[in-house]
Amino acid sequence: MRKVAVLGIGLTPIGEHWEKSLRVIAGEAVFAALNEARIAPPQMQALYVGNMLSGPLNGQENIGTLIADWVGWRGVEASKIEAACGSGAAAFRAGVMAVASGEFDLVTVVGVEKMTETGGPSTTSALASAADADYEAAQGLSFVAINALVMRRYLHEFGWKHNDFAPFSINAHANAVHNPNARLREAITAKDYNRARMVADPINLLDASPIGDGAAAIVLCPADRLLPNGGPAITVAGSASATDSIAVHGRRDPMLLAAAQLSAQKAYAQAGVRPEDIDVFELHAAFSIMAALSLEACGFAGRGQGVRLGLDGQIGPNGKVPIATMGGLKARGHPVGATGVYQLAEVALQLRGEAGETQVSDARVGMA
């Protein structure tokens, strides 16, 4: 298997883009990535699109072909990859395997979602389709409700208080202030967090990430074909994926993200690193409870102790485990199918030393 490198990235601001369609938003990210990679469009061999909701929210499926046509790539292999909120990351992994195997030399991965033109109930219902339709969604459980149940159990089992989770949201917003692509570029305080209105007890508004319209793209190539441009070569040291029961009640331990744990262990083994070697970690915290559970699953904290890293000030850009360095899902925003690609691109920016005010010093190994 060949070593794979990131040749270029493209990011669009996350917001309510009423004037732009799904294909236009995706195209902007793709062209930005191509421009940075200095690749002419005819050279591209494959396009993998991470997206969850184009069918129910935009009335458009087959968006691999749609976007390939829009950017002028008729004839290339193109497909949509759906894995709920992990769609962007799954598309990236498909691109990595395509290049590593030798099948293609140039691949573009784009994550895109347009979520703000439908009403709240429609969007919530569409998102709930990623839960277990028979045993969760059919009982009226939305994703915020499922996360609220998990958070309530975590508070009970490990003795934490709700306001102990405030550092996760405060850190995300503080970092988003410096990210021009972030949706919520406003700092918040512990007082703001504690006074936020309740959404699904114990999750309040500042525990939850906002949806949005946005796209992020990454161009991949074999590492030995990187053009010398004076910048650091960003290579993929490890990539892995795993699954668990979709329904929370089907998991052996509802307080363990077993799939995240297994995939992290596989990726660590491939890369020859340990958790203490990771300089920056972009975790998938759609709700603040998931920040704590992700830190624990990936080996940065013991069981029930993920919250401690936030309380001890260890999650900021200068901390032991920098997370959400560009705002994360909470403040950068969470256009679900695109989020994984945003995270991977943000890790690349950190490793290049191009993260601006939230740059992690001497970052050499990043993880998403």
pLDDT tops 70 at residue 108: yes
Q: At residue 235, what is the residue type? A: T
Q: At residue 181, what is the residue type? A: N
Q: For residue 299, which of 328, 339, 340, 267 has the smallest C-alpha distance?
A: 267
Residue indicated by tokens 């395509």? 98
- Section 234-250 average pLDDT: 97
pLDDT tens per residue, range 246-265: 999 999 999 999 999 999 99
Residues 257-270 as b or e (16 or more Cβ within 10 Å = b):
bebbbbbbbebbee
Output DSSP code: residue 169.
Answer: H
Output DSSP code: residue 359.
Answer: P
Percent of residues in the chain assigned helix, strand, coil, to nearest 5? 45, 15, 40
Q: Which pLDDT does position 46 carry in this prediction?
A: 98
If you average pLDDT over every residue of the chain, what do you get?
A: 96
Supply the residues annotated as catalytic.
Answer: 85, 334
Q: Across the strands, what pairs with 192?
A: none
Q: For residue 158, which of 170, 150, 166 has the smallest C-alpha distance?
A: 150
Work out the pLDDT band at 187, boundaries 50, 70, 90.
very high
CB atoms within 10 A of CB 68: 24
Work out the pLDDT band at 230, boundaries 50, 70, 90.
low
pLDDT tops 60 at residue 148: yes
- Section 323-336 average pLDDT: 98
Strands (E), 242-367: 280-281, 366-367
pLDDT tens per residue, range 47-82: 999 999 999 999 999 999 999 999 999 999 999 999
